Amino acid sequence: MKKRSLMSLPPRPRPHEEFLQYLVHEDLKLSYERKRRLAIRKIRKQFRAKQTEIVEKLRRGLKEDDDHRKVLNACIYPFARGDVPGYFFVRAAPLAEMNLENLDFLIVCLNPPRSGEVKVAIFGEAKGPINDPDRVLQEMKGRIDVLEQNWDKARRMYLSEEMPREFVVGVLASDAHEMSKSAIRKGGGRIIWSVDFSSNHILSLDRPDLDRPDRTVRETMMHKNHSLNQILNKLATSATLYTFFEQSHIVAKLRILTAVDKLKEDGTFMFNDLQTLVKEALDYVLDESVIRRVTSIIIEWGHNIGFVAEVVPGHFKIKSRYKNAADREREIENLWINYRLSQEANLLVDAEVANLQTSFESERAKRPTLPEILPSETLPK
Amino acid sequence: MKIPEGQYTLDSFVQYLADNEGRVFGGGERKQWLKVYLVYARREWGLLFKDFPQTNLGDVRKISMQMGSVAKPVEFYVYEWSPGFLLFFTSSRREDYEKTLRKFIRLNRGITEVWIPPDLLNIVRNRLLSEYEATVYSFISRRSRLSKTAANIRPDFDKRLSYTGEDATEVLKEVANFYGVVPKSISFRAGTDKLQITNNGMLLLYSVNQRSVQILMDFLRTVTERQRKVREVSGQLKRETKTMQIGDLEFRTPVVVPGIITLQSRKLDRYVVERFFGHDNMDSRESSFEVETEEIEPREFSFIDTSIKEGSFSFSASVVDDIKGTMFGLNGSVDQMVLVPMHRTTFESFVRFYKLVIESLDEEAKFDVPPTQTQTA
């Protein structure tokens, strides 16, 4: 659920016909068209050579998102299951309404289970497989700083009242130990949740060993409410809970289309059918405009990649020869990859053509036409 | 099937059928047979059928269903056996059932055919053989190559076997041992009566009299008693939201009640789960059988967003019910699967998924709602 960096957009070439008209001179036109053809052929050839690499990168991105969602689901699940008395999942991506760099989830202890325990807001970040725990903590610090800077607003928006904050990093069990070590080195203050997907899926607090000289640091890596520390011990959890989150990969969102037209005798579905599913997928979102926006995005992308067609206004159809969701899922992934490939190829072609146009513009500048040289009043009417 | 208007209990209804067989079912060449379909339905089942003309006949309700290409309405007499179980009595032809009630069941959420697992069908069969001195004269059996049912001969093949013969009682047992095939439909002879039972909850009586009515009641009691739990567990799986208050703010929090299928007689591994997920394309496999009299069921569930972990074995997927559009999560290890409701939750998707597990993975699998952590503590 990272913010994807926007690709810097290369220059767009002028439309072909318009540029030909601008060139005026027939020899220039012919030369431009020939060089343009060659340039496009060259770019397409170069692109084909690295296509496999691009496809792998696209698939990797999708897998990272899937892995991330599974860990995030595993962090939330026990709270939705009612396994942690007094604590409730409030929402994913808190601060989304403010368009700010986001943490992944907010869980609140509203009814402290034991006397002496307090209300707490737990902000958390979920991570799929990680290589560099220090970087994860660094990134998280950035996000926490943003939260702190906007705390008054965030508090008014989600919590109403002031309450202490705790910061959790949910990681795979295989990364939990390194993550803890890194957090201790950085002075603590982060609580590590370990998600174990081997065998039965479980969620645990990665308990720091307190019998160490740096005990005071390690103590900050436990929850204030002891009851939560106790309960987070091999708690049954699930990799599946939310089909997608607001900031999930577009393919994760498009997967919902595999089931949207089930039980529809004529095979068409309406905006509302999809909206109902999106509402279920983002059941914690109260703002209806968010639900509508996400629904529109799914339809728009479904249309872009050629998986959804609007047969008559307001009535959509899945353009697939498959009825079953598994084949449809594969089709969505492939269509999305093809779409992205053609997008990338077009960007490169555009950049090359734009360069070519620049060089022809200087050629053209050297060869002005008569009307361009003479003042207009001297020309015969 | 024509029943005069009046107030019936189940007993008086079937008694009327038995006492007036000729009038109700006709005779000679045109004689019709009584079919009883056992169906799981949501508690407020009346709402499901609100668009069909109906007449109340006491505890029994007559419903006329006309759908699609069916020329004239097909009549069903419905009785609520117990909450969640409905009986549909009809004398209409099988094709008419397929085009009306069965189609309705497939196109609507909140209703599904009752399914009789192999061990229960065995119990039903054995009761008929011992209590009513019945014999089997025809049966259809099948085997999935993923099945763990013991088979002496070529266990790794999908098989379907249809047999008719006066020695069918023995043959049914023999082919079960040799080929590991499991009966789907069994036809019996009990004295002068004939009847057929299918594993999707249908009982067909060729003649209606005191004895066949007794067989029917016996059948219904045995099946509903055993299958009540599946219905109850499936109905408990939930995905809802609860609106909560923090100070003067509202938020909506998810509430999920999962189900758990525990395997008893097999351990799962990558090979089995990949096949279960259908990665070897079970669609084409299923359709390779050319069977005229029996509708071939297309695969009913798809597994998407799948992940299988090696080492300490585990897997997860989103399951899509390709018939009803329900979506639920699946998390599994060597001997269990946790089902997490996600979209369009309705009980029958879980009934049918459990059936899939029983039929293709483990006949002894158990289905429950796991206790929460606090309940365990």
pLDDT tens for each residue of A214-241: 899 999 999 999 999 999 999 999 999 9
Interhelix angle B347-360/B210-236, nearest 10 degrees: 110
Is the pLDDT at B284 greater than 60? The verdict is no
| Residue from A69, A122, A199 to probe the interface with B (highest B Cβ count within 10 Å) | A199
Give the pLDDT confidence score for residue B298 in this predicted structure: 64
pLDDT tens for each residue of A116-162: 999 999 999 999 999 999 999 999 999 999 999 999 999 999 998 99
Does B313 contact A90 at a Cβ distance shorter than 8 Å?
no
At B69, is the pLDDT very low, low, confident or very high (cuts 50, 70, 90)?
A: confident
Is the pLDDT at B50 greater than 50? The verdict is yes
Is the pLDDT at B15 greater than 90? The verdict is yes
At A3, is the pLDDT very low, low, confident or very high (cuts 50, 70, 90)?
A: very low
Give the pLDDT confidence score for residue B165 in this predicted structure: 96
Q: Please, which residues have CB within 8 angstroms of residue B374's CB and are 6 or more apart in sequence? A: A82, A83, A85
Q: Is B344 on the interface with A (CB under 8 A)?
A: yes
Q: Which residue of B has its CA nearest to A324?
A: B322
Return d(Cα A11, Cα A15) in angstroms, integer.
12
B27 vs chain A: nearest CA distance in angstroms? Answer: 39
Average pLDDT over residues A43-53: 93
Task: Extract long-range pairs of B4-9: CB within 8 Å, 24+ residues apart.
Answer: B5/B55, B5/B57, B6/B57, B6/B58, B7/B57, B7/B58, B8/B57, B8/B58, B8/B59, B8/B60, B9/B58, B9/B59
pLDDT tens for each residue of B331-373: 999 999 999 999 999 999 999 999 999 988 888 999 999 988 7
Give the pLDDT confidence score for residue B206 in this predicted structure: 93
At B293, is the pLDDT very low, low, confident or very high (cuts 50, 70, 90)?
A: very low
Q: What is the mean pLDDT of chain B?
A: 90
Share of chain A above pLDDT 90, in %: 86
* B106: nearest Cα among B239, B271, B340, B298: B298
Give the pLDDT confidence score for residue A281 in this predicted structure: 97
Give the pLDDT confidence score for residue A2 in this predicted structure: 43
Q: Is A59 on the interface with B (CB under 8 A)?
A: no
Strand partners, A353: none
Return d(Cα A65, Cα A2) in angstroms, integer.
9
- Contact between B264 and B365 under an 8 Å Cβ cutoff? The reply is yes
Give the pLDDT confidence score for residue A95 in this predicted structure: 86
At B159, is the pLDDT very low, low, confident or very high (cuts 50, 70, 90)?
A: confident
Does B327 contact A243 at a Cβ distance shorter than 8 Å?
yes
At A301, is the pLDDT very low, low, confident or very high (cuts 50, 70, 90)?
A: very high
Is the pLDDT at A363 greater than 80? The verdict is yes
pTM of the model: 0.90
Nearest CB to A284: which of B254, B302, B313? B254
Q: Is B133 left (phi over 0), alpha (psi -120 to 50) or beta?
A: left
Q: Which residue of A has its CA nearest to B341?
A: A241
CB pairs under 8 A between A and B: 180
**B310 or A378, higher pLDDT:** B310
- Contact between B299 and B322 under an 8 Å Cβ cutoff? The reply is yes
Range 145-164 of B in CB contact (< 8 A) with A: none
Which H, E and C letters describe B3-59, residue by residue?
CCCCCECHHHHHHHHHHCHHHHHCCHHHCCCEEEEEEEECCCHHHHCCCCCEEEEEC
- On the 0-12 / 13-18 / 19+ scale of CB atoms within 10 A, A350 is middle
Q: Is A172 on the interface with B (CB under 8 A)?
A: no
Give the pLDDT confidence score for residue B6 in this predicted structure: 94
Is the pLDDT at A54 greater than 70? The verdict is yes
